[in-house]
Structure formats: structure tokens, C-alpha cells
């Protein structure tokens, strides 16, 4: 063995989505953010395109994410589905979070590597990041959809080519609550073995 397998397996199982409502006021240090981003860049990448791009919002800058989310939500939500609670939640979540990382996919100029592979590579990077965060005792939450995938979001993340994509915002924080537990379906449920 080259690593402590039981610790690695425990870490993978232990990584949890933890929402900003559950964060303590302890701030995530910049050095930790740098380390987890560096781990993201060690994800597999077909053709070594390294398509991940990150924008780190720290301190007061997290407010900018909330403001953009609110503006998008106000402009794009039909009246009958509009919820003032959601508008406020964008703000309270950003206030409760000392670091939000905007994640994007920079499309290779030649377009040789299929788009889905570039998106998958970035997602692998995000997983690395979230695992490394969990090792520090830092919870993470990937916020996607709606604003996160929008043109406004692309602009905010500096993704200027038409085929670039904004893929979401990762909130990071130390939980004020007990580290959450989760469960998964048994392996048999999701695996077919072909063996002869």
C-alpha cells in the first residue's frame, strides 16, 4: 500500500455537503483555499487541457455572489413561483460563508476534446477540492442551476468565450453542528459484474 487505505476510504465517505446555515463564524484561511484549489488542479484531464477556472470570493466579496443571484432570480422567476424567502436566503448564505469559489470550464479553442469530458474533468477537480476540504474539517456545498449556469454567472467568473461554461459556486465553512452523516445504496444496487 502506498497510502493509508482506511483513512482514504473514511475521508471519501465522510465528505459531506454542509450548508451555510450550519457554518460557524470561523473563517476558512486563504492558505487552506489555495491548498484545496491546488488539489483540484490534479484531477484527470483528457488531453491535459486543464479546463478548470476558479474565482475566489472572500470576506465581503461573498456578497457579490448573493447580489448577482438575487438579481438573476428577480429577473427570471415568474410571479407565481417567486419567493422572498429565497431572495433573503441568498444573502444570509453568503453572509454565513467566508469563502465562495466560482467554478468554470474554459473550453479548449480547437474543441477537439468533447465538451462533456471537459465538464467531467472540472467536476473531478471539484471532488478533489471537496475531499481536501473535508480533510481539514471544512464542509462544502456545490450550488448549481439557475444563476450559477447563466450568462451573468459566466461574466462574473470572467468566462468570456461562447463555449465556456459556468458550473457553480462552492461554499466552504466549518460546521457549527456535528459533522453530518449520510448513506448510499448498497454496491449491488448500482453494479453489474461480468466475470469469467
Q: Which residues bind ligand FMN (CB under 6 A)?
A: 16-17, 142-145, 168, 182
Which strand ranges, in their side-by-side order, compose the sheet holding 165-173?
52-58, 99-105, 165-173, 139-143
Looking at the Cβ atoms of 31 and 179, the one nearer to ligand FMN is 179
Alpha helices in the chain (DSSP H): 5-14, 30-40, 62-76, 84-95, 115-135, 151-156, 187-190
Looking at the Cβ atoms of 92 and 144, the one nearer to ligand FMN is 144
Cβ at position 177, least distance to ligand FMN in Å: 13
Backbone angles phi, psi at 83, to 5 degrees: -130, 120
Tell me the residue nearest to ligand FMN as measured from the CB: 17
Q: How many CB atoms lie within 10 A of CB 92?
A: 12
Looking at the Cβ atoms of 13 and 30, the one nearer to ligand FMN is 13
**Three-state DSSP state, 71:** helix
Tell whether the torsion through CA atoms of 39, 40, 41 and 44 is positive or negative: positive
Cβ at position 196, least distance to ligand FMN in Å: 35
Looking at the Cβ atoms of 145 and 162, the one nearer to ligand FMN is 145
Cβ at position 148, least distance to ligand FMN in Å: 7
Cβ at position 139, least distance to ligand FMN in Å: 9
Amino acid at each position: 500500500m502506498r497510502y493509508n487505505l482506511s483513512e482514504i476510504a473514511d475521508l471519501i465517505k465522510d465528505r459531506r455537503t454542509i450548508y451555510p446555515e450550519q457554518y460557524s463564524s470561523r473563517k476558512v484561511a486563504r492558505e487552506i483555499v489555495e491548498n484545496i484549489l491546488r488539489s483540484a488542479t490534479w484531477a484527470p484531464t483528457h488531453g491535459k487541457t486543464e479546463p478548470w477556472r476558479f474565482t475566489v470570493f472572500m470576506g465581503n466579496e461573498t456578497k457579490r455572489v448573493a447580489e448577482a443571484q438575487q438579481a438573476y432570480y428577480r429577473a427570471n422567476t415568474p410571479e407565481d413561483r417567486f419567493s422572498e424567502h429565497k431572495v433573503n436566503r441568498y444573502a444570509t448564505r453568503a453572509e454565513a460563508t467566508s469563502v465562495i469559489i466560482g467554478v468554470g470550464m474554459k473550453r479548449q479553442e480547437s474543441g477537439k476534446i468533447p465538451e462533456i469530458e471537459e465538464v467531467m474533468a472540472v467536476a473531478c477537480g471539484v471532488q478533489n477540492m471537496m475531499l481536501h476540504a473535508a480533510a481539514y474539517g471544512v464542509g462544502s456545498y456545490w450550488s448549481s442551476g439557475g444563476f450559477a449556469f447563466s450568462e451573468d454567472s459566466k461574466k462574473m467568473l470572467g468566462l468570456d468565450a461562447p463555449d465556456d461554461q459556468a458550473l457553480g459556486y462552492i461554499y466552504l465553512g466549518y460546521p457549527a453542528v456535528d459533522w453530518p452523516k449520510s448513506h448510499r445504496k448498497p454496491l449491488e444496487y448500482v453494479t453489474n459484474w461480468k466475470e469469467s
